[in-house]
């Protein structure tokens, strides 16, 4: 069945568009950002309050360099205070690049006719999954173009195939999805395969720009896209990821759009999104966009810091689109998840690492070509705790970031010990001797910092069990 917005009825008044461009612009034009106000807003966020649109506009409108520094410092403090040093690692796995849409920024778009399109067969998908398991990955996001072939049933089948792969000492324990929107029954079908997060990026919340850059296919329909994750919620998927593609329109408007989207979920479903993504446009085959709104590095740091403060309980994802130095810098301002060892070429993981990317074989250019093991070394060396934890999802504790944020002691009791356990598992199975030494030094340090606690003894016991061959241990 081909899902199409024109044959689909909105069943409920809840699923109405919720972006009011005039409202957003009136905040951006009118809200004053004097010192006292900016400091009050930062303080409210550090007090763990999600910011309103008006408060977000205060931070956006602060242009005084001293205030910008205070906003960045606020984001850094919030990250340290709430999330600590953990960074969750994942990898994208592209399943198919057939696409009937014409998004001007994307290499997969239908008008790129000369490109050989690939949809992974079951053995190819298994081979890709095995190659990712061999790197040490436990969490994947499966990515698809928008095409009748990639129906809800097809996607659900690919998820089951990935979960079914047991290889060496590992397996994939959480599969997230980035795919086109479905109707409610479609989302239900995908949910039944046991997915983690369903991610859909609005690309731009500014409707006229949206219409300008989406030239053909179902994705042209702004409202169908905007209400997509409402349908996911109605289908029982309460773990959703939102995002905007920065560079299509004014970044200030997009930040407000993202915050409005969060408010909408909170108001209607009583649960915010699990993650926010903020990709910046990268080069792609026949990229065809105006350059006016491309986001500079210093604006990018600002917008990530503002988002961190505006939605303090939401996970934030930064991908290998960004070069290593930008990633390292941005990590400090509140990012909680990054990808590692990323290869966008369909079937690329099983072919091995490559430094030169062929734009005809991937959706866009990536700028961080580090392998997962290189990223692990750098994270460990900088005192971060790399984590492959999937415990909350597997124990049915949905809204993991929300719990980290709102349940006192949750991070200390669950997240940090689980991060250390998954790190120890990685060190045992995939790390070089040198990484293993540095990794266990970090683990010892963090265990000591936990002080005297019943849980610490349990944790030490579990680490010893991992060393003697037990796997997949968590609290």
- Residue 100 or 233: which CB sits closer to ligand SAM? 100
* Integer Cα distance of 272 and 254 in angstroms: 17
Enter the tokens of residue 251.
């970044």
Burial of 36 (0-12, 13-18, 19+ CB in 10 A): exposed
Quick check: 293 binds ligand SF4 (CB under 6 A)? no
Count CB neighbours of 185 within 10 A. Answer: 12
Strand partners, 280: 246
145 binds ligand SAM (CB under 6 A): yes
**Does position 145 bind ligand SF4 by CB under 6 A?**
yes
In angstroms, the CA 416 to CA 420 distance is: 6
**Interaction of residue 318 with ligand SAM, rule CB under 6 A:** no
Give the H/E segment covering residue 324.
helix 324-331
CB 152 within 8 A of CB 98: no
Tokens, residue 469: 């061959």
- Binding segment for ligand SF4 (CB under 6 A), chosen from 5-13, 102-110, 114-122, 425-433, is 102-110
Least distance in angstroms from the C-beta of 366 to ligand SAM: 9
Q: Which does 420 bind (CB under 5 to 8 A by kind): ligand SF4, ligand SAM, none?
A: none
- For position 108 contacting ligand SF4 by CB under 6 A, the verdict is yes
Contacted by 414, from ligand SF4, ligand SAM, none: CB < 5 to 8 Å by type: none
Q: What is the Cα 124 distance to its own chain's centre?
A: 25
99 binds ligand SF4 (CB under 6 A): yes
Q: What are phi and psi of 86, to 5 degrees?
A: -75, 140
Query: Which residue is at the shortest CB distance from ligand SAM?
Result: 364
When the beta carbons of 145 and 312 are compared against ligand SF4, the nearer one is 145
Stretch that binds ligand SF4, among 103-111, 261-269, 351-359, 380-388 (CB under 6 A): 103-111
The token pair at 319 is 């991908």
Q: Closest distance between ligand SAM and the C-beta of residue 281, in Å? A: 5
Is residue 187 a contact point for ligand SAM (CB under 6 A)?
no
Binds 109: which of ligand SF4, ligand SAM, none (CB < 5-8 Å by kind): ligand SF4
- Build a one-symbol-per-residue string for 270-289: x at contacts with ligand SAM by CB under 6 A, - elsewhere: ---------x-xx-x-----
By CB under 6 A, how many residues form the interface with ligand SAM?
Answer: 20
101 binds ligand SF4 (CB under 6 A): yes
- The verdict on 142 binding ligand SAM (CB under 6 A) reads no
Residue 386's DSSP bridge partners are: 87
CA contacts within 13 A on the Cβ side of 323: 4
Q: In angstroms, rounded to a whole number, what is the distance separating the alpha carbons of residues 173 and 26?
A: 45
DSSP string of 46-104, one letter each residue:
HTTPPPPHHHHHHHHH--SHHHHHHHHHHHHHHIIIIITTEEEEEEEEEEE------BT
Considering only residues 98 to 137 of the shown chain, the ones binding ligand SAM according to CB under 6 A are: 105-106
For 126, residues 6+ apart whose C-beta sits below 8 A from its C-beta are 161, 165
From ligand SAM, ligand SF4, none, interface partner of 178 (C-beta below 5 to 8 A by class): ligand SAM
Q: Of 72, 137, 174, 219, which lies in the binding site for ligand SF4, with binding defined by CB under 6 A?
A: 219
Q: Half-sphere exposure of 1 toward its Cβ, with a 13 Å CA cutoff?
A: 12
| Nearest of 366, 457, 371, 383 to residue 423 by alpha carbon | 383
Selected from 146, 239, 250, 368, the binder of ligand SF4 by CB under 6 A is 146
Q: Residue 419: name the closest of 398, 396, 373, 450 by CA.
A: 450
> What would the x/- binding string for ligand SF4 be over residues 58 to 77, using CB under 6 A?
--------------------
357 binds ligand SAM (CB under 6 A): no
Which position among 86, 109, 261, 308 is part of the footprint of ligand SF4 (CB under 6 A)? 109
Binding site residues, ligand SAM, CB under 6 A = 105-106, 143-146, 178-180, 200-201, 203, 245, 279, 281-282, 284, 321, 363-364
Please give the residue ranges that form the binding site for ligand SF4 (CB under 6 A). 99, 101, 103, 106, 108-109, 145-146, 219
């Amino acid at each position: 069945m081909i899902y199409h917005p024109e044959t689909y009825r909105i069943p409920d008044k809840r699923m109405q568009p919720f972006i009011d461009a005039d409202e957003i612009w009136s905040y951006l034009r009118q809200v004053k950002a004097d010192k006292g106000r900016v400091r009050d807003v930062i303080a409210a966020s550090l007090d763990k309050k999600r910011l309103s649109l008006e408060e977000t506009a205060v931070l956006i409108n602060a242009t005084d360099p001293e205030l910008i520094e205070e906003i960045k410092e606020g984001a850094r403090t919030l990250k340290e205070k709430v999330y600590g040093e953990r960074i969750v690692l994942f990898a994208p796995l592209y399943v198919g690049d057939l696409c009937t849409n014409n998004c001007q920024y994307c290499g997969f778009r239908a008008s790129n006719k000369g490109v050989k399109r690939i949809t992974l067969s079951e053995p190819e998908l298994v081979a890709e999954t095995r190659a990712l398991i061999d790197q040490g990955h436990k969490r994947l996001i499966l990515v698809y173009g928008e095409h009748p072939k990639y129906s809800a049933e097809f996607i659900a089948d690919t998820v089951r195939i990935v979960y079914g792969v047991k290889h060496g000492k590992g397996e994939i324990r959480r599969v997230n999805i980035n795919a086109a929107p479905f109707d409610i029954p479609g989302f239900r079908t995908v949910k039944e395969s046991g997915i983690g997060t369903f991610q859909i990026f609005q690309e731009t919340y500014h409707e006229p720009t949206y219409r300008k850059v989406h030239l053909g296919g179902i994705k042209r329909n702004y409202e169908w896209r905007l209400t997509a994750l409402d349908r996911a919620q109605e289908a029982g998927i309460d773990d959703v990821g939102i995002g905007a593609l920065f560079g299509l329109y004014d970044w200030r408007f997009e930040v407000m759009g993202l915050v409005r989207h969060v408010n909408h979920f909170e108001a209607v479903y009583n649960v915010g999104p699990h993650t926010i993504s903020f990709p910046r446009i990268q080069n792609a085959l026949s990229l065809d966009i105006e350059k006016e709104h491309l986001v500079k590095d210093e604006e990018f740091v600002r917008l990530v810091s503002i988002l961190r403060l505006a939605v303090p309980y939401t996970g934030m994802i930064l991908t290998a689109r960004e070069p290593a130095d930008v990633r390292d810098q941005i990590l400090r301002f509140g990012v909680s998840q990054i990808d590692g060892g990323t290869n966008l070429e369909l079937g690329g993981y099983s072919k091995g690492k490559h430094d030169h990317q062929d734009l005809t074989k991937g959706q866009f250019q990536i700028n961080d070509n580090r392998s997962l093991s290189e990223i692990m070394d750098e994270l460990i060396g900088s005192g971060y705790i790399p984590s492959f934890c999937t415990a909350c999802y597997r124990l049915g504790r949905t809204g993991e970031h929300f719990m980290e944020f709102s349940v006192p002691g949750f991070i200390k009791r669950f997240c940090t010990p689980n991060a250390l356990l998954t790190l120890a598992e990685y060190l045992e199975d995939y790390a070089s001797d040198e990484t293993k030494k540095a990794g266990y030094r970090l683990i010892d340090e963090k265990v000591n910092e936990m002080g005297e606690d019943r849980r610490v003894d349990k944790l030490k016991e579990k680490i010893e069990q991992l060393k003697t061959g037990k796997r997949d241990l968590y609290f």
